[in-house]
Structure 1
């Protein structure tokens, strides 16, 4: 996302889906700095929502159901720490978990060098940056994806602090949504096929978080909670918890 070069669409799709680190783990997605995406870890059908599941790059909450066509949430932009090339993303999306063929998503990435990136994506296409959308630490950013059909939709980011809003309308899409997953995620994304160093983002909290569609409205509360586990060391790097008011993910690495 932040760099002009992007991963090719096929590579992006492969990276965008869940990839296992161990049994009962969720997936990972690929990179964003180069336009990559995440992927989950293991078979979603093996998960149970009573305990956190683990992924190499997703942390947050996933609701699994039918007919999801709109997901929204608001975060306060965190101050991150770590190496200058470290990074993390926060986003909302439809599909990409039990539906492995598509994801519609939008969000922001924050980097250890103090820069930010606002982006939208319909996998397996790579991510694209919004232009003229200033972001700084402490800004409140509202994120929304709204699918008018399984092949069309709109991604919207609004800086509630500055009043600036950007949107992208998808009219020619590379995949068909299943509308079975709604997500609120903090991600350690990939660049060039490898996960970037994960930035210490402190805490990211999604408020005003909901997903709606043909089956009604849900929030992150009651969804499958996912935390990021380093596949090499086994260290758990996040601690995510949902409540009636939203979802909070804390960096623990």
Structure 2
């Protein structure tokens, strides 16, 4: 796992926990009627994840996931969301290795955080946090060096800075069965936060690397939209990427 040639490197384990957020595994919804209405065979619904998920591979398949996106400018309604890439969390719901950003909108005020997480442990700041701003181009990568160790890397390609963390599993090992590119309605205090309008998030140069030498883009993966009384997102895949739109 080659670190970028310039920027900041986080001190392993040096970050603080983010007390007000935690990611969750994919919360699938029973969606027979919704799926029939879409006429798309690989689309499903979730209360918390929107994006593309490879979930048809056996354990021991995926060791690295990466993707690039532009930091959005969230708008009303008041709320928050996360953008991240990860390994596991769907058919393997006991562990997720993930990294990304949170953003919140509250009556015109906007805030951002960068983080890594090995679920079920809390999300943590990087040991040497970097600044991000609307319009910055961010590349996020997670790599499992074993089922119980991994690396999270977040690069701000607009500023040349990056942050990196070496991580050990807090409890459950990875299955290496899922790879995903996600916008999430994360949890705080045990409940989903209100979802802000994040506009359109597009992952490009999005790839999942398999232990057998194969490489997959999101194209062909299962699509998940967020449903909370109504459908809140629209997801579409293309070769090398996936677009997630707030609707």
Normalised by the size of structure 2, how large is the TM-score?
A: 0.83
Which structure has the greater CA radius of gyration? 2
Q: Does 1:94 align with 2:102?
A: no
Describe the superposition over 1:209-238 as per-residue Cα deviations: whole angstroms up to 9, x where unpaired. Answer: 0000223110111000000001xx2x1000
Which SS does the other structure have where 2:158 is aligned? coil
Determine helix, strand or coil for the equivalent of 1:21: coil
Q: Which runs of 5+ in 2 are unaligned?
A: 1-14, 34-38
**1:121 and 2:117 aligned:** yes
1:245 Cα offset (Å): 3.3
- Larger relative contact order, structure 1 or 2 (CA cutoff 8 Å, min sep 6): 2
The equivalent residue for 1:76 is 70
**Residues 80 and 111 of structure 1 are in contact (CA less than 8 Å); yes or no, is this contact kept in structure 2?**
yes
Q: CA RMSD in A?
A: 2.3
Instruction: Provide the rounded CA distance (Å) in 2 between the counterparts of 1:208 and 1:68.
Output: 17
Inter-partner Cα distance in structure 2 for 1:125 and 1:156: 18
Equivalent in the alignment of 2:204: 207
Give me the whole-angstrom Cα distance separating, in 1, the residues matched to 2:103 and 2:144.
Answer: 26
Task: Give how far 1:114 is off.
Answer: 1.1
Matched, 1:5 2:19: yes
Q: Secondary structure at the match of 2:145?
A: strand
**Structure 1 contact 49–223 (Cα < 8 Å) conserved:** no
Using a 3 Å threshold, how does the CA distance of structure 1 residues 245 and 20 change in structure 2: closer, same or farther?
Answer: closer
Compute the displacement of 1:19 (Å). 3.2
Q: Which residue of 1 aligns with 2:240?
A: 245
Unaligned runs of 5+ residues in structure 1 are 26-47
**What are the within-5 Å matches in structure 2 for residues 28-43 of structure 1?**
none
Corresponding position of 1:63:
54
User: Residue in 2 aligned with 1:34?
Assistant: none
- After superposition, the Cα gap between the structure-2 partners of 1:59 and 1:2, relative to the gap in structure 1 and judged at 3 Å, is farther
Verify: 1:17 aligned to 2:55, yes or no.
no
Instruction: Report how many aligned residue pairs link the two structures.
Output: 220
**1:217 aligns to 2:219 (yes or no):** no
The one of 165, 183, 191 aligned to 2:180: 183
